Structures are given as C-alpha cells and as structure tokens.
C-alpha cells in the first residue's frame, strides 16, 4: 500500500497546471481515490515473448462517483489531462469485454479475474492469483528473489 500511495501522489495532477484539470478537480479525484482505495489481490504475471518476463503485480480498486467521472470526461473533452504520466481512458465493462479496448500487459488478465469474465488477451499474458497479502514492498522481498 505504501508504494501505491506514493504512485497516486506522483501521478495525479493537483496543481491546476496548464493542460491539466483544475486544481479543485485534481484534489477531488485524488481524495476520492485515496478515501476508497482497497487492495484487491496480488498476481504472478508471465509475459511470453522471445524472452519470458515475470512480475508480481498488485491490484487495487477505488469507487468513484458517477458525477466525478462525468466531470473528468468533460475535462478530457477539453484536452485536459488528469495524470502526469501514462494514458487515461474511461471505458465501460462492455468495451473491455468486446476487445475494442486492450489494456496494457497484465492489466487485462487482472481485470478478467476482478470482473469474472475473460477479456481478449493478445499479448498472451498469464496472471495467476497469489495467496497472501503483500501490501508492503518488504513482504515481496521475503517471498521472491529479485533478478536483474
């Protein structure tokens, strides 16, 4: 959870800078995520390509009001960004299920577990739920060996 909190703090714009959502909306988004943030579970993900990539991924979720989502959509129509890095797109479950939207790497497999249906998986990623709760980085280091 400590790493997740740091990531949220770094990546959600809250200063109202040019090209980003207003300071007020940025703070509202930040607070809405932080107040309802819950750990879902951890996954061992394997991406098979010319070389196998293995990662441990932690999945979290938050509940955000429909009104706040509509406010974000309106800001995005005006080309204002919420995140300081990465891409944000607001989609519904049917768009995910249909394959029109393909999430990055292991995200699709994790969402398949969360929603209980199989999403298209063009990257052939396998994400296996892990037993246990690894909320702190040191918990991972005790169970897994890091290899460079």
pLDDT digits 0-9 by tens, 14-29: 887 888 888 899 999 9
Q: What is the pLDDT of residue 67?
A: 97
Range of the domain at 6: 2-141
Secondary structure class of 98 (helix, strand, coil): helix
Domain count, the chain: 1
* 103 in any annotated domain: yes
Find which of 17-26, 60-69, 85-94 is predicted with most confidence, using mean pLDDT. Answer: 60-69
* 91 in any annotated domain: yes
* The model scores a pTM over 0.85: no
* 112 in any annotated domain: yes
Look over the chain and give the mean of its residue pLDDT values, rounded to a whole number: 84
* 146 in any annotated domain: no
Element (H, E) at 4: helix 2-11
* 62 in any annotated domain: yes
* 148 in any annotated domain: no
**What tokens were used for 126?**
């396998």
Distance CA 54, CA 118 (A): 21
Taking residues 4-12, report their average pLDDT.
80
Taking residues 53-57, report their average pLDDT.
86
pLDDT band of residue 133 (cuts 50, 70, 90) is: low
Nearest-CA neighbor of 125 among 58, 41, 43?
43
**What tokens were used for 127?**
């994400």
* 29 in any annotated domain: yes
Distance CA 30, CA 37 (A): 10
Secondary structure class of 81 (helix, strand, coil): strand
* 147 in any annotated domain: no
**8 A C-beta contact, residue 58 and residue 134:** yes
């Amino acid at each position: 959870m400590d790493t997740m909190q740091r990531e949220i703090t770094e990546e959600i714009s809250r200063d109202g800078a040019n090209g980003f959502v207003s300071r007020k909306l940025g703070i509202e988004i930040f607070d809405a995520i932080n107040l309802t943030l819950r750990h879902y579970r951890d996954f061992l993900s394997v991406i098979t390509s010319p070389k196998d990539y293995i990662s441990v991924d932690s999945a979290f979720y938050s509940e955000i009001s429909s009104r706040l989502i509509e406010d974000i959509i309106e800001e995005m129509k005006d080309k204002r960004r919420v995140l300081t890095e990465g891409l944000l797109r607001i989609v519904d479950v049917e768009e995910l299920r249909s394959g029109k939207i393909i999430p990055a790497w292991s995200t699709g497999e994790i969402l398949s577990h969360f929603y209980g249906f199989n999403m298209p998986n063009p990257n052939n990623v396998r994400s296996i739920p892990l037993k246990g709760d690894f909320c702190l980085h040191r918990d991972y280091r005790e169970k897994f060996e890091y290899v460079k």
